[in-house]
Structure 1
Amino acid sequence: MARGVKEHATWSPYENNGGTCVAIAGSDYCIVAADTRLSLGYSILTRGHSKLFKLSDTAVMASSGFQADVRTLQKNLEARQKGYYHQHGKPMSCPGMAQLLSNTLYYKRFFPYYSFNVLGGLDTEGKGCVYTYDAVGSYERTGYSTQGSGAELIMPILDNQLKSASPLLYPPRETATPLTEQEALEIVKDTFASATERQIYTGDGLEIVVINKDGIHKEYLDLKKD
């Protein structure tokens, strides 16, 4: 073995770049949020990287994981969405986009995108919807979800505060959370503030997108930077 070459690589190009995403759906709104820190191990690559991607006027995707794969996935979905628009003369609905994302991930299941996604927006009836995914396309519609390195810290808080009905219950129940838009917004901010105190891969800034009947609105909140 050559001098200076380690026997085992200490870094893989598919190593997680960290980050946390959260989405909450209400009766007439959806909130999608993600932090802006992009890191590799103990190194912060940038403090201002957006993990949110607007797919349409009613759908926003938040992604954590290996960001090169995330960007490739975003480009793929953007091209498919544009093709749908030119063919049908209208943008794809949020539930339709959710199915497209599932199909796209499943198509790559034997060499999957190292990407963990949450899709949020408004359905065809104007109700908030959140879809959560694993790496190979399995998904479900829920009232709230979180993905990424801080998910284990944030999910118990969401479960405690929101207690959304399971979509697997019969007869079907409403999955949207009962909170007002402002109450849900405050919970999102609190969960990220808590996660940044205990998890080094989440921090620097919080990018929030609120989707409602008036369109898409963005907010930004500073988080802990060390």
Structure 2
Amino acid sequence: MSWSPYDDNGGTVLAVAGLDYCIIAACTRMSTGYSILTRDSSKILQLSNEVCITSAGMQADAKALHKVLQMRNIMYQHNHSKPMSVSAVAQLLSNTLYYKRFFPYYTFNIVAGLDDAGVGAVYAYDAIGSYERSGYACQGSGKGLIQPVLDNQLKADSPLLIPPRNTITSLPLDQALDLVKDAFTSAGERDIYTGDEVEIVIITKEGTRKERLELKKD
């Protein structure tokens, strides 16, 4: 059996950007094979009131990566007397992953938050730092189950529409939140690495709040 970056599994993570909000969600189960190591492992790093990072994949590498990013974030705040913007964090993570490209972090990351205009922003990455901004993203073992649901509900009909349609979802916050919860509930029925609870961070211009969603324990 070949080794997979999901062997020390961080389950599933996702983010959805709206016109004035951003939702970041991650399941709390961490397991290897058929063994559950812990049912309460947070995979979301909140760098400021407007920016979060969440990571699926090998959790030892994810924790090491989060420590590096937290250190760089503190240094930035001391040097510039302000928190990092979501675009600055996105570029920092890309540079950090690319620097380690010959011995990469086996993590699959999402940066999410509000940009300078107060609009939701989601950046999805591969293991060596290539990234793009989109209206939503999903990473982890449940991606194959959740991504089609997000594409069906949030994606524009065609990338060739004139004028081009914004990738940011037009769904109101409560509907987008229900979609995220339904997606995780469905994935938990099929994916053994997604379960227990979902940690949800909701970022708006009024501030940040957190919710928890119970999933199946088996």
Taking structure 2 as the reference length, what is the TM-score of the superposition? 0.94
Give the CA deviation at 1:16. Answer: 3.7
For residues 172-195 of structure 1, give each alpha carbon's deviation from its aligned partner in whole angstroms, at most 9, with x where no partner exists: 642210100000000000000000
Asked whether 1:160 is paired with 2:152, we answer yes
Equivalent residue number for residue 206 of structure 1: 198
Residue type of the alignment partner of 2:45: F
Map 1:22-171 → 2, pairs under 5 A: 22-164=14-156
SS at the partner of 1:17?
A: coil
Equivalent residue number for residue 3 of structure 1: none
**C-alpha RMSD of matched pairs (Å):** 2.1
For residues 185-223 of structure 1, give each alpha carbon's deviation from its aligned partner in whole angstroms, at most 9, with x where no partner exists: 000000000000011010000110000001110000110
Match for residue 177 of structure 2 among 181, 185, 199: 185
SS at the partner of 1:206?
A: strand
Q: Is the CA contact 1:36–1:48 (under 8 Å) kept in the aligned structure 2?
A: yes
Separation in 1 of the partners of 2:114 and 2:160?
A: 21
Separation in 2 of the partners of 1:57 and 1:99?
A: 18
Q: Is the CA contact 1:142–1:166 (under 8 Å) kept in the aligned structure 2?
A: no
Separation in 2 of the partners of 1:87 and 1:18?
A: 33
Q: Is the CA contact 1:54–1:61 (under 8 Å) kept in the aligned structure 2?
A: yes
For residues 28-56 of structure 1, give each alpha carbon's deviation from its aligned partner in whole angstroms, at most 9, with x where no partner exists: 00000000000000000001111111011
Larger Rg: 1
Larger mean Cα displacement after TM superposition, 23-32 or 164-173: 164-173
> Against the structure 1 CA distance between its residues 33 and 112, is the aligned structure 2 distance closer, same or farther, given a 3 Å change threshold?
same
Separation in 1 of the partners of 2:148 and 2:42?
A: 25
Residue type of the alignment partner of 2:35: S
SS at the partner of 1:24?
A: strand
Separation in 1 of the partners of 2:5 and 2:144?
A: 24
SS at the partner of 1:176?
A: coil
Separation in 1 of the partners of 2:161 and 2:98?
A: 26
Q: What is the percentage of aligned positions where both structures have the same residue?
A: 61
Give structure 1 stretches of 5+ with no counterpart: 1-7
Separation in 2 of the partners of 1:199 and 1:71?
A: 23
Separation in 1 of the partners of 2:142 and 2:5?
A: 21
Give the CA deviation at 1:170. Answer: 8.8
SS at the partner of 1:145?
A: strand
Q: Is the CA contact 2:5–2:106 (under 8 Å) kept in the aligned structure 1?
A: no
Residue type of the alignment partner of 1:181: L
Q: Is the CA contact 2:155–2:167 (under 8 Å) kept in the aligned structure 1?
A: no
Residue type of the alignment partner of 2:217: K
User: Would you say how many aligned residue pairs link Structure 1 and Structure 2?
Assistant: 218
Taking structure 1 as the reference length, what is the TM-score of the superposition? 0.91
Separation in 1 of the partners of 2:164 and 2:130?
A: 20
> Against the structure 1 CA distance between its residues 94 and 168, is the aligned structure 2 distance closer, same or farther, given a 3 Å change threshold?
farther
Separation in 2 of the partners of 1:25 and 1:47?
A: 27
Q: Which runs of 4+ in 1 moved over 6 A?
A: 10-14, 165-171
SS at the partner of 2:47?
A: strand
Give the CA deviation at 1:18. Answer: 3.7
